[in-house]
Amino acid sequence: MKIPERYGKNKPRNTSGKRKKPPEKRTTI
């Protein structure tokens, strides 16, 4: 899973990880 530099610059790596996780898990926390 390689993220293009263009995408990385637009959004931080942390955001990528959060988006990958399902929304249900986020609501549980």
Q: DSSP of 2-26, one letter per residue?
A: PPPHHHHHHS-HHHHHHHHS-HHHH
- What's the rounded Cα separation, in Å, for the pair 27 and 24? 5
**Tally of domains in the chain:** 1
Q: What is the pLDDT of residue 29?
A: 56
- Domain encompassing residue 9: 1-29
pTM beyond 0.75: no
pLDDT digits (tens, 9 = 90+) for 1-29: 565 566 556 555 555 556 666 666 666 55
Q: What is the pLDDT of residue 12?
A: 57
